[in-house]
């Protein structure tokens, strides 16, 4: 079951092994194990693109190292329901970056680790003091209109929660994190225990791992803001006051898709602000 190898004596640190749901273990390519067995003894760490770390025991088999009970572990952790390809990229010591791909080479929608305990955020959340009252009123009116659009919708047989946010002057200047609507907190986030959202703009594969920052009101965690890396998202797409962000969150994982509507009426903007 070896699916990687060395060519003309050149060591390859990347290899692929199919995930066969009818099996439990995986053989590490023999050439690889023989070269790195001093670092791979006992246990390896498999780290996916979203930062999840799955630890797998390594035992010595007749052909070398074996990832023990790796398939049931991946099935439990990722909820796999069919065979996929598991791509390994060796980082050194006992660590691998991994990618999971289906038969069409589409990457699996990895979840992020859940947040076990909510903590009240520090000074990253600031008030709208840098905006004028007129600016605040403009944004408040636009968001009041957008709030009526929030709620669950069905798209291609899958349920999503959609909502709209209007960029304020403070958010555009990266002086404030993005406050999420109370309806999102009440109707959507209350059903999940995530510490981050994976933010992706429609038509762009780049991912932003945005923290979810909570604030207490009257002793209850009721307000939630989209924090770092949202500042980078604002910068990359040159968001300005009055731009609208149309969000779509699904029930399967913590991916948050967004369409940008520019204040001049244009559709999904690009990184150049057009």
Q: What three-state secondary structure class fits 10?
A: strand
Whether residue 18 is predicted with pLDDT greater than 60 in this model: the reply is: yes
| Sheet (strand 26-27) strand order | 14-19, 84-92, 95-101, 42-47, 53-61, 64-68, 26-27
Q: Select, from the ranges 4-18, 84-98, 100-114, the one with the highest average predicted confidence (pLDDT).
A: 84-98
- How high is the pLDDT of residue 115? 47
- pTM of the full predicted structure? 0.54
Length of the chain: 274
- How high is the pLDDT of residue 12? 82
- Confidence at 193, pLDDT banded by 50, 70, 90: low
pLDDT per residue as tens digits for the range 117-163: 444 444 455 544 444 444 555 656 666 665 656 677 777 777 788 99
Choose between 126 and 266: higher pLDDT.
266
Query: Hunting for tokens 């996916």 — which residue is that?
Result: 48
Whether residue 237 is predicted with pLDDT greater than 90 in this model: the reply is: yes
For CA atoms 197, 161, 205, 226, the dihedral sign is negative
C-beta atoms surrounding 163 within 10 Å: 21
Whether residue 222 is predicted with pLDDT greater than 60 in this model: the reply is: yes
Burial annotation 246-273 (CB, 10 A radius, 16+ → b, else e) = bbbbeeebbbbbbbbbbeeeeeebeeee
C-alpha pair distances (Å), 259 with each of 141, 254, 268: 20, 17, 5
- How high is the pLDDT of residue 147? 61
C-beta atoms surrounding 147 within 10 Å: 14
Whether residue 4 is predicted with pLDDT greater than 60 in this model: the reply is: no
Q: What three-state secondary structure class fits 69?
A: coil
Query: Hunting for tokens 């990618």 — which residue is that?
Result: 99
Instruction: Characterize the bridge pairing of strands 42-47 and 95-101.
Output: parallel
Whether residue 3 is predicted with pLDDT greater than 90 in this model: the reply is: no
């Amino acid at each position: 079951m070896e699916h990687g190898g060395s060519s003309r004596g050149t060591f390859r640190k990347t290899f692929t092994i199919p995930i066969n749901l009818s099996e439990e273990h995986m053989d590490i390519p023999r050439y690889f194990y023989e070269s790195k067995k001093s670092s791979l003894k006992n246990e390896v760490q498999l780290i996916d693109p979203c930062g999840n770390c799955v630890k797998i025991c390594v035992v010595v088999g007749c052909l070398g190292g074996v990832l023990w009970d790796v398939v049931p572990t991946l099935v439990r952790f990722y909820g796999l329901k069919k065979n996929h390809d598991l791509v390994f990229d060796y980082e050194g010591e006992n660590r691998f970056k991994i990618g999971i791909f289906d038969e069409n080479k589409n990457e699996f929608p990895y979840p992020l680790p859940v947040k076990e305990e909510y903590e009240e955020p520090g000074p990253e959340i600031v008030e709208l003091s840098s905006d004028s009252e007129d600016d605040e009123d403009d944004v408040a009116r636009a968001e009041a209109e957008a709030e009526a659009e929030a709620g669950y919708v069905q798209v291609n047989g899958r349920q999503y929660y959609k909502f709209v946010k209007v960029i304020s002057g403070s958010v555009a200047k990266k002086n404030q994190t993005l406050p999420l609507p109370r309806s999102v907190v009440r109707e959507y986030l209350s059903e999940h225990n995530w510490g981050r959202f994976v933010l992706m703009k429609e038509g762009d594969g780049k991912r932003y791992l945005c923290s979810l920052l909570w604030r207490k009101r009257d002793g209850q965690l009721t307000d939630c803001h989209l924090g770092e890396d949202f500042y980078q998202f604002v910068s990359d797409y040159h968001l300005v006051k009055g731009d609208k962000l149309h969000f779509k969150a699904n029930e399967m994982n913590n991916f948050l898709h967004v369409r940008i509507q520019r204040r001049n009426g244009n559709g999904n903007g690009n990184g150049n602000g057009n």
